[in-house]
Amino acid sequence: MYKLPKLVFASMIVFLSCDLLLAQENNFNVYDPDLDGKIQVSESLKAIEGQDKHLLIMIGGNWCKWCRVFDKFSHENSKIDSTLSRNYKVVHVNYSKIDPDEELFEQLDFPQRFGFPVFVIMNSKGERLHTQNTVYLEEGKAYSEKNVLNFLNDWSPNALKAENYKKDK
C-alpha cells in the first residue's frame, strides 16, 4: 500500500533530475540562483541610464522548460535577437519557491502569478510598464516569432514616445 506513493515520488525525482541534467548539458543555465534579483535589477537599470532602452526582466529558472525554450529561441532567431539588443537590456532573475525574492516580486506586482517564464518591462527610471504572461507568445511547442516581435516592438522605447502619436499641424 505504501509502495505506490514511494514509486511515484521516486519517479518524479528521476524525471526532475534528468530534466535539470539535460539543461546543464545543453548550456541552458541562464538563471543564476545565487544572484540577488533586486541587485540584478538595480545594476541593470544603472547600465541603461541615459540610453534609449528598457529593461526586460525574464523571471524563471533553469528548472523551467519554457524558460529554456525561450532563451534558445531568442538567441537563434536573428530578428528576435536584434530587436532585443536594440531596445532592451535583458536580465534573467531566478525564481525559487524555496527562497523567493519576495521584496522584488512585490515591487514588480507579483509577476509569478502568470507562471514562468514571465517578462516584466521597466523603463530606465525603474517604473514597471508591463508584465507579460508568455503563454500568449507561444505557438504549439515553441514561441511565435510574430507574437514575440509584436510584444517586443509594442513595448519598445520608441513605441511609447508621444511624438509618434501626435497629429501633424
Place of cell 530606465: 124
Lowest mean pLDDT among 4-18, 30-44, 69-83, 145-159: 4-18
CA atoms of 13 and 144, how far apart (whole Å): 32
- 113-146: b or e for each residue (b if 16 or more CB lie within 10 Å)? ebebbbbbbbbbeeeeeebbebeebeeeeebeee
Average pLDDT over residues 30-40: 96
Which domains are assigned to the chain? Answer: 31-159 (3.40.30.10)
**Whether the predicted pLDDT of 76 surpasses 90:** yes
Average pLDDT over residues 9-38: 65
pLDDT band at residue 58 under the 50/70/90 scheme: very high
**Whether the predicted pLDDT of 26 surpasses 90:** no
Which secondary-structure segment (H or E) carries 142? strand 142-143
What does the pLDDT read at residue 99?
85
More confident residue, 166 or 104: 104
What does the pLDDT read at residue 104?
97
